[in-house]
Structure formats: C-alpha cells, structure tokens
Amino acid sequence: MKIIVAGAGAFGKKHLDGLKNIDGVEVVALVGRRLEPTQKIADEYGISHVFTELGDALALPGIDAAILCTPTQLHAAQAIQCMDAGVHVQVEIPLADSWEDTMAVAAKQRECGLVCMVGHTRRFNPSHQWIHRRIEAGELNIQQMDVQTYFFRRKNINAAGEPRSWTDHLLWHHAAHTVDLFQYQAGAEVVQANAVQGPVHPQLGIAMDMSIQLKAANGALCTLSLSFNNDGPLGTFFRYICDNGTYIARYDDLVDGRENAVDVSQIDVSMNGIELQDREFFAAIQEGREPNASVAGVLSCYRVLHQLEQQLSG
C-alpha cells in the first residue's frame, strides 16, 4: 500500500516511527511546509519523494492513502482534497475547528465511500483499550471521569518544543480527545455540556485555561481541566471512577487507584497508540469496512465542541 504523510512536524514523525513497524505499507512521499527540513526528515526515513504541496504528492501514480499531520486549519480542506483524488485519508485530531467544516468532510465521505478516519488516539492506547474491554464485558461502568490536560505553551511551539506556523486550541484539539473518549467509554452521548475559559492570550488569540463539565445520557459525568499555563507535570491524565474500581491512565500506561500497575502489554500488538491507530486505518482499507474513529463515528464529539464554542462566545 503506497501512502503519503503530510506534515513533517512532531506528530508526522510519530506516525513515521509507527509506520516502520507495519508490514505492507510504503511511505512514498512526505509533504512539508519548507523543503529543506522536510527533505532532511525524508532522508532519515528513506522516503523517496518530497513536496511542499499536497496536490503534487496526490498526483503520484498508485497512491492508496494519506495521513494528514498538518495544521488544524488545513485538516478539513485537505481531507476533502484527498478524497476528491480517490485516496483514503486519516486526519490527525482534530478533524476540523468548526462544525461547518466537520459536516463538509462527513458529506464528502458519504458521497465517495472512501475510508476517512480521524486520529482519536485515546481509543487505541492500550490503557484505554483495557478499560473499554472490561466495560464491554460488563465488568465496569463509569461513574465519573476526571481528566487533566496540562501543557506549558505560552509561546507558539509544538509537542517537540519547536516553533510552528499555526496556533493550537484547547477546545477544538485537546478537549476533542476527552469528549470523544468519554462518550466512547460511557457508551452514551453527551446530553449536557458546560464550559468556562480564562483570559485570551494577547498574542496567540486563544484562551490559555479552560474547564469543561459533561454529562452522558446514562448519567456518567466528566470533568475536564485544560491549561497551557501549567509548568509541569505535562500531559493528559485520565482518572476513571467506576462502579468496580478506580483507574488512572497516563497515555499507554495504566494504574489502579492505589498506583498499582495494570499490565496492558498483551492488549494489542504494540504499546504505541499511534501505531495501533495507523494499523486500524490500513486494516479498514484492506477489509473494506468502517474504521474505529471514522468520521461518522466521531461526529457527536464535534457537535459537542460546537455547542461549547457557542457557549464560550455567547
């Protein structure tokens, strides 16, 4: 399977690292904003073609799929561009930063029938998979999720601490992970959502602190705190308060409420959530099925984000 990776930043490299472990997949082109640093990364990973325009990569013969790790503001238009070219597409989270753009991508996918998957990685992390399997087996029910998403980003930098050309967003990007995961794990859609935010940064133009409350149709609750002002520890930490135990997930690792490690090493073929996400994308293409975290499957998440945005701007 010949694929394109668009975006040579921190997350593009995470996908390239995971793709090295997947048989039957060849990255034939890397797309980046600047040619020289993109060429350097392509050389490192043995990628033969380098472009600064996605359309040039899509014009290569025999392209089957694309993974988009580009700035958020480009996601929707580029996903549609890929599908218009007859190419399956995985879009890194978030799918879009507006409800209008989200619906446009969903409409294009329904029209063409290609695989369009969104990078909601938390569905694939072994830690969250362990929880999900116990819920599906009837062994756990979520009473409440308490989630902290904390970074120190008072300047416009990416996950690797490098300057970037676009501005991140606590609501449309970082809250998307938790809103989707909460509904996925609770097995019910959000019926009540509230948000408040702190002051808007004078240069970045975004709120640096945010608090979100969610209630699912089955009564489960979620409290989400987000900050770009937090000076460590950094990352996202999920506390699952269940009817039969408490668990804390830190990316691919899981402990119980007393910090005893839970072995999740046998949950899947890898402990790398990004790699598992990519494996699902290619498996869905090969098997002609809808993937976990398809555009249709995550629409309700973006509907909630839209409702919260309306609250915050009202």
Rounded to whole angstroms, the Cα distance separating 128 from 259 reads 16
What are the tens digits of pLDDT across the range 188-217? 999 999 999 999 988 888 899 999 999 999
* CATH code for the domain of 40: 3.40.50.720
Residue type present at position 132: H
Contact present, 222 and 194 (Cβ < 8 Å): no
- Do 209 and 87 share a domain, yes or no? no
* CATH code for the domain of 203: 3.30.360.10
For the chain, strand residue ranges (E) read 2-6, 26-31, 49-51, 65-68, 88-92, 116-119, 142-150, 190-197, 209-216, 221-227, 235-242, 245-250, 253-256
- Do 104 and 223 share a domain, yes or no? no
- Do 41 and 188 share a domain, yes or no? no
**Listed residue (221, 222, 143, 135) closest to 178, CA to CA:** 222
Contacts of 160 (CB under 8 A, 6+ apart): 9, 10, 13
- Do 246 and 128 share a domain, yes or no? yes
Rounded to whole angstroms, the Cα distance separating 272 from 124 reads 9
Indicate if the pLDDT at residue 229 is higher than 90: yes
Using DSSP bridges, classify how beta strands 142-150 and 235-242 pair: parallel, antiparallel or unpaired: antiparallel
pLDDT-derived band at 51, boundaries 50, 70, 90: very high
- Do 61 and 127 share a domain, yes or no? no
Give the helix ranges, DSSP H, for 85-143. Answer: 99-112, 126-136
- Do 66 and 99 share a domain, yes or no? yes
Indicate if the pLDDT at residue 160 is higher than 70: no
- Do 80 and 136 share a domain, yes or no? no
Domain count, the chain: 2
Q: Is 303 exposed, middle or buried (0-12, 13-18, 19+ CB in 10 A)?
A: middle
Q: What kind and span of H or E run contains 18? A: helix 10-19
What's the domain range around 111?
A: 2-121+274-293
The pLDDT of residue 203: 84
- Do 75 and 116 share a domain, yes or no? yes
Contact present, 277 and 67 (Cβ < 8 Å): no
What are the tens digits of pLDDT across the range 108-137? 999 999 999 999 999 999 999 999 999 999
The pLDDT of residue 164: 60
**Listed residue (107, 74, 104) closest to 91, CA to CA:** 74
What are the tens digits of pLDDT across the range 231-242? 988 899 999 999
The pLDDT of residue 264: 97
Indicate if the pLDDT at residue 53 is higher than 90: yes
- Do 43 and 134 share a domain, yes or no? no
- Do 27 and 137 share a domain, yes or no? no
Rounded to whole angstroms, the Cα distance separating 248 from 258 reads 9
Indicate if the pLDDT at residue 288 is higher than 90: yes
What are the tens digits of pLDDT across the range 70-113? 999 999 999 999 999 999 999 999 999 999 999 999 999 999 99
Q: Is 187 exposed, middle or buried (0-12, 13-18, 19+ CB in 10 A)?
A: middle
The pLDDT of residue 152: 87
- Do 174 and 241 share a domain, yes or no? yes
Arithmetic mean of pLDDT over the chain: 95
pLDDT-derived band at 159, boundaries 50, 70, 90: low
- Greater model confidence, 102 or 160: 102
Range scoring the smallest mean pLDDT among 164-173, 188-197, 215-224: 164-173
- Do 194 and 112 share a domain, yes or no? no
The pLDDT of residue 52: 98
